[in-house]
Amino acid sequence: MPLIQSTDYRPPGLLRWGHANTMYPTLFRKVHGLSHTRERIDTPDGDFIDVDWSRPGADRAQRVAVLIHGLEGDSRRSYMLGMTRALNRRGWDVCAMNMRGCSGEPNRRLYAYHSGKTDDLDAVVRRLVDVHGYAAIALVGFSLGGNQVLKYLGESGADLDPRVRAGFAASVLVDLGSGSRNLARASNSLYMAYFMRMLRRKVREKKLCYPDEIDERGLAWVRTFAQFDGRYTAPWHGFESAEDYWERASCKHWLRDIRVPTYLLNAADDPFMTPESYPLAAADDNPEFSLEIPHWGGHVGFVDLNDAGEYYSEQRAGAFLESAVPA
């Protein structure tokens, strides 16, 4: 401890392959039985964040978990719904964030979100404390959202609000540069095409609101994160280049500064990952930071076909948060 040496995750035989475990939930998983209430949070820069609430009972629980999705996801993705259901079952209120522009309505500013943008997460935490009055908060993030969680906890350090008690992240590209370059490989072309299709659509939507500030010439030929982040993400958010963005937004710089119990679950067969995404040294140096590397799991997969319908990541998050933030 905190490097988790033993793991009991054993997916079905056909899913003991990173690509299969990654794609199965997107293609086949349905999570039912949840109801949501939406709340809009205004941000200091004149924009907004939409969050979706799910509560296990009529009254407010004592604990709340903030869930943060991955790139171009939203609160209704199956991994978000599965984690919501698992935590509701354990008595947690769940506040599922939709990053700017991901709630079904374009955000108001030219910029939206990126892997290292943690001020919106802080705005949600402030809302939970100042308006809703929660005394115990946990942060749970997936992929890009997981990078935000880890970076936020580390950069806050000793100044973190004491009501934020724990963090859990799954499938995080701890080093964005190596991960982005890995996703540009031919073996990951299906994922890259999927992400680029959504990101190009977002640029075209933004063009309608900011016709003089967005150049979409050649947009159809933007096929990699290096191209997209260099042309759009970096200048929109004040970075010098794609490489500057990747370096400064990566959570790898902040892991040693985390001061609350935090758990990272990264599968060894995740097709998005490179060796830099398994921060063994940080887990060895920081007693508050735990790292588990199961042999299987894919990217935001961790499929487990049990009677409860809970995936391995949801079981691990539930158990960890119950121990870190007891009711």
Local mean pLDDT, 10-residue blocks, the chain (327 residues): 77 95 97 95 97 92 96 98 98 98 96 97 98 97 98 97 98 98 97 97 95 93 97 97 98 98 97 97 96 97 96 98 95
39 exposure class (CB count in 10 Å sphere: 0-12, 13-18, 19+): middle
Residue 298 C-beta-side C-alpha neighbours within 13 Å: 25
**Global confidence as pTM:** 0.97
Helices 312-324 and 78-89, interaxial angle, to 10°?
40
Q: How far, in Å, CA of 129 to CA of 19, rounded?
A: 40
Preceding omega of 106 cis (within 30 degrees of 0): no
CATH number assigned to the domain covering 3-175+250-324:
3.40.50.1820
Q: Give the catalytic positions in this structure.
A: 143, 270, 299
Could you give the strand order of the β-sheet that contains 3-4, starting from the edge strand earlier in sequence?
3-4, 289-292, 262-265, 164-170, 136-142, 63-68, 93-98, 48-54, 37-42
The angle at the Cα of 103, spanning 95 to 224, to the nearest 5 degrees, equals 110
105: Cβ–Cβ under 8 A, 6 or more apart, which residues? 50
What are the sequence ranges of the domains in the chain?
A: 3-175+250-324
**How far, in Å, CA of 72 to CA of 66, rounded?**
18
Q: Is 83 exposed, middle or buried (0-12, 13-18, 19+ CB in 10 A)?
A: buried
Residue where the block lists tokens 């933030």 = 325
Six-digit token string for 108? 């108001």
User: What is the model's pLDDT at position 3?
Assistant: 78
CB-CB neighbours of 238 under 10 Å: 10
Location of structure tokens 């004592």: 62
Which residues have a Cβ under 8 Å from the Cβ of 242 and sit 6 or more positions away?
Answer: 180, 225, 226, 227, 229, 230, 233, 234
| Bridge partners for 164 per DSSP | 137
Token readout for 163 is: 């009501």
Neighbour tally for 15: CB within 10 Å: 22
Q: How many whole angstroms separate alpha carbon 209 and alpha carbon 195?
A: 22
What pLDDT sits at residue 59? 85
Token look-up 């398994």 returns 278
C-alpha closest to that of 176 among 184, 165, 167: 184
